[in-house]
Homo-oligomer: A and B are copies of this chain.
Amino acid sequence: MNMNNSEGLTGQAGNETSDLSKARLRAWLQILKVSRKIEGELREKMRLEFGSTLPRFDVLAALYRERDGMRMSELSKSLMVSNGNVTGIVDRLVAEGLIVRVPVENDRRASIVRLTKEGEKDFAERALVHESWVSELFSDLSSSDADALIRILRTISHHNEAPHD
């Protein structure tokens, strides 16, 4: 049986919570706080400046990285949201003319979603402004702190990585 840092050496077990456990909880709450605050700011800017939303921006961003398009399932996996969720966002972006659904050869269950010319142009503009917003919201974050933050968050990410296929 596997023993991790939260018990074992200290002999702690059951419901008693260690200092380390509490520090991790504080870290999580702080992540949540920053994440909510920044998302709120970006949501408002996205709405006022572009009349759009963060989920739509996220879909456009994913498709901008994969210019040949992505399947719905790739999209939802990449964004870490449910399939059904992506269906709705994609419907709206199609209605706005920013993306299209293209049938897949030899598999009529699937479809590929990709940016239209207009979607590509719109996203390129929005992405620049978006980056400037983030940089401004993070303007107290030095280069070295940014690197440290990324490193630490990656160790957390990697821990609960989705199991292999």
Chain A contact-residue range equals 35 or more
Task: Point out the residue from B20, B28, B32, B138 that lies within 8 Å of A28, measured CB to CB.
Answer: B138
Copy tally for this chain in the complex stands at 2
Q: Is the CB of B6 within 8 A of A141?
A: no
With A31-B35, A38-B28 as known contacts, state yes or no: A21 contacts B156, CB within 8 Å. no
A10 on interface, CB distance cutoff 8 Å = no
Within A119-149, the residues touching B (CB, 8 Å) are 128, 131-132, 134-143, 145-149
Q: Distance (Å) between the CB of A107 and the closest chain B CB?
A: 28
Interface residues of A (CB under 8 A from B): 4-6, 15, 17-28, 30-41, 80-81, 128, 131-132, 134-143, 145-150, 152-160
